[in-house]
Structure 1
Amino acid sequence: MADQSVNGDVVDKTESDVPLDRLGRPLGDLRISVTDRCNLRCRYCMPEAEYTWLPRADLLTFKEIDVLVDVFVSLGVDKIRLTGGEPLLRRDLPDLVEVLAQKSAVRDLAMTTNGVLLVKHAQALANAGLRRVTVSLDTLRPERFKTLAQRDHHQEVLDGIAEVSALGFVGTKIDTVVMRGTNDDELGNLIEFGRSVPAEVRFIEYMDVGGASGWNSDLVVSKAEMLRSLTDRYGAIEPLVRTAAPASRFRLPDGATFGIVSSTTEPFCSSCNRSRLTADGMWYRCLYALRGTNLREPLRSNASREELRSLVAGTWRARADQGAVIRSRKKDRGALASAEELKADPHLEMHTRGG
């Protein structure tokens, strides 16, 4: 396989360098949170008025992110997704995109955003080499958006989606968290909107993670329910071949496709190859993990390339996480953490570790 450079050193990556965890899952997608800040306060993620933010001195610099990406790439990672919080709140983000876009071994570089600032930054991101985004959009109704996000930025999100289409971005996706009694009557309309953009819509079951401190199972609209509703509207729906991606994908009779992420009712832990790096360098191997590995500390203590690679590879090989499966077996299942626990440990927040 192609050589990679880490801290200026050349790494000859072979198949044997790709670590497998205890369930045989390879180290694959890496999601990098560049900030824990967000400009929305969505009910299922950041419903509180005040938060404990990461110390700014702890945030990784772009150079530090670059070094860690090279470490992960040398161990098999070839898909990078920039997340937050809201990643477009990180100053000079196109500079990081430009660095990452030049890595030939990164075959897929993408960003997840709430879309509020896309119009302002889309051109600079395109110039830097970004070609794919996922935009969170939970409703097509402005009044619902304001209730859900506790901010009035619905039109900015729609404008942002239109902007990336005009600039030639490809593979655009729209993420929709589906909540019973809130937006579960918009599934078909969202698919039609996605068709017009164009973008593929991915419906996400409401998950009991991070800031979803008000989560309860009654609000979850299952994958099975979504499919029944969409079948009533469109007719027979064809399942597509499942990959390591989080979404199960489906095709409508007219050829349009959509996805469903069913982490709550039908966990896919057995094929999950994703891990998450927070803005301050904590590495999590599972969305439900209560503890992560501090990579910032050894990086800033001048750990060698081989020491960083050994730490990452060894930690991944010890991984046995199946957080969604374990949570699905709980009889008294409630929110993963209370509001008080989240304030005491902001790393439990999804806006900190990236969803």
Structure 2
Amino acid sequence: MPPAADAPLLVDRHGRVHRDLRISLTDRCSLRCTYCMPAAGVPWIPAHDALTTDELVRIAAVAVAQGITEIRLTGGEPLLRTDVVDVVSRLAALTGPSGRPEVSLTTNGLRLPELAGPLAAAGLARVNISIDTLRRDRFRTLTRRDRLDDVLAGIAAARAVGLSPIKLNVVAMRGVNDDEIVDLVRFAVEGGYEVRFIEQMPLDAGHVWSRVQMVTGAEVLAALRSAFDLVEAPGRGSAPAERWVVDGGPATVGVIASVTAPFCGACDRVRLTADGQLRSCLFARTETDLRTVLRTGGDDAAVAHAIRRCLAGKRPGHDIDAPGFLQPDRPMNAIGG
């Protein structure tokens, strides 16, 4: 839903209107994906530094009042937060110039068999579920956990309660799962899901990302065209995925080529970490401390001012290809997707 004509908008100095707030509920995760986190995990955010639910909802309320129309809950694994259903309920009840925001969630799916129903009842609109392989042995190697059946059960649970569309996120990796690209699309088409292939980004905790090992969006499309007829879907807008209609539809497949074909010029996202730091970009090297604004008595106007100050410093692009590019200090699990 577009903002009303008189809505206060969050506009950066490049003219991009921000309508999408990504909120990380926790930096903890129940898997240890090799491209994200070492086997032993990483130092976690101390509990006293994490936003309380009241603080999180208050920041979101200010952002919605400023024109945010979509809230995506991320992590880590957001379903590890014990009060996640209450969080969804409170966020879904917020109102702004364009009405209530759409609340969605990105998850590894492990807790969806027990939580999909309560989350849908609380107002969750849809889910993105990560699944990089359909092979149990490979899943165990990739995630260091033997939980593929639980992920598949979570996908089925989301479908059973009507969370739609269900998007399946796949990080394509050379020599790891790039031989499953076609199989994953067939699985999604048969189940009524949309699979989205994501170029691996330099956001791993070990800082071992290699562009040479990354499977590009162009390579993904070449693999798909060997098995399917693809027609580009219109109306991408600010969405990160370039979508393609598969074999005449209705199924579609998405490709998020953040590295080789960045879409920074249409970016409408801003990110709030679990410890209350606002980031204008996934690859930002600076953050705006909203937690301190709240805990030192700042009112809603002060929160709004801090949000706008953060966006005022947003760069035109992430500059991954620039000679001086530096990977963010925080890994993906601590930033939130």
TM superposition score category, shorter chain reference: over 0.9
| Cα-to-partner distance string for 1:109-131 (whole Å, 9 max, x where unaligned) | 10000011111211221221213
Question: Cα distance, 1:58 vs. partner?
Answer: 1.3
Give 1:159's aligned residue: 153
Task: Please state whether the residue corresponding to 2:189 is helix, strand or coil.
Answer: helix
Number of the residue aligned with 2:94:
103
Q: 1:69 aligns with which of 60, 63, 71?
A: 60
Matches within 5 A, 1:176-215: 176-211=170-205, 213-215=207-209
- Structure 1 runs of 4+ with >6 Å offset: none
State the SS of the aligned residue for 2:320.
Answer: helix
Which of the residues 244, 253, 262 maps onto 2:257?
Answer: 262
Question: How much does 1:107 deviate?
Answer: 3.5
Gaps of 5+ in 1: 4-12, 343-347
Offset at 1:317? 2.7
2: CA distance, partners of 1:135 / 1:162: 11
Question: Which of 313, 325, 329 is the aligned partner of 2:322?
Answer: 329
Does the aligned pair in 1 maintain the 2:21–2:68 contact within 8 Å?
Answer: yes
Matched residues in 2 for 1:239 and 1:98: separation? 33
Q: Identity rate of aligned residues, in percent?
A: 41
State the AA in 1 paired with 2:30.
N
Which amino acid counterpart does residue 242 of structure 1 have in structure 2? Answer: R
Paired residues of 1:202 and 1:261 also in contact (CA < 8 A)? yes
Aligned pair 1:34/2:34, yes or no?
no
Aligned to 2:331: 349
Q: 1:54 aligns with which of 45, 51, 72?
A: 45
Amino acid at match of 1:353: I
Please, which moves more after superposition, 261-270 or 123-132? Answer: 123-132
What CA distance in whole angstroms lies between the structure 2 residues aligned with 1:247 and 1:138?
17
Counterpart amino acid of residue 329 in structure 1:
A
Change (3 A) 1:77 1:171: same
CA distance in 1, matches of 2:153, 2:230: 33
Question: What stretches of structure 2 of length at least 5 have no aligned partner?
Answer: none
**In the alignment, what sits opposite 1:222?**
216
Spell out, residue by residue over 1:267-325, the C-alpha distance to the aligned partner (whole angstroms, 9 max, x if none): 111111111101110010111112211100011111111111122123313322411xx
**Alpha-carbon distance between aligned partners in 2 of 1:280 and 1:244, rounded to the nearest angstrom:** 27
AA at the equivalent of 1:270: G
CA distance in 1, matches of 2:255, 2:158: 23
Residues 19 and 317 of structure 1 are in contact (CA less than 8 Å); yes or no, is this contact kept in structure 2? no
Paired residues of 2:278 and 2:307 also in contact (CA < 8 A): no
Distance in 2, Cα, partners of 1:318 & 1:63: 27
In structure 2, C-alpha distance between the alignment counterparts of 1:240 and 1:329, rounded to whole Å: 30
How many aligned positions are there? 333
**8 A Cα contact 2:173 2:214, kept in partner:** yes
Mapped to 2, the partners of 1:239 and 1:66 lie a distance apart of: 35
Deviations 1:188-227 (A, max 9, x none): 2111111222211110011112426221112111111111
Confirm whether residue 169 of structure 1 aligns to residue 143 of structure 2: no
Task: State the SS of the aligned residue for 2:202.
Answer: coil
Contact 2:230 2:245 in 1 (8 A): no
Pairing 1:297-336 to 2, within 5 Å after superposition: 297-323=292-318, 326-330=319-323, 336=327
The TM-score, its normalising length taken from structure 1, stands at: 0.89
Once the two structures are superposed, residues 241-287 of structure 1 have per-residue CA deviations (whole angstroms, 9 ceiling, x without a partner) of: 32101111111223120100000111111111111101110010111
User: Structure 2 CA distance, aligned partners of 1:27 and 1:258?
Assistant: 25
- Name the aligned partner's letter for residue 237 of structure 1: V
Aligned residue number for residue 74 of structure 2: 83
After TM superposition, the score normalised by the length of structure 2 is 0.93
Which secondary structure state, in structure 1, belongs to the residue aligned with residue 151 of structure 2?
Answer: helix
Identify which range, 273-282 or 188-197, moves more after superposition: 188-197
* Secondary structure at 1:218 match in 2: coil
Question: Secondary structure at 2:71's aligned position in 1?
Answer: strand
1:29·1:273 contact (CA, 8 Å) conserved in 2? Answer: yes
Show the 5 A alignment for 1:276-287: 276-287=271-282
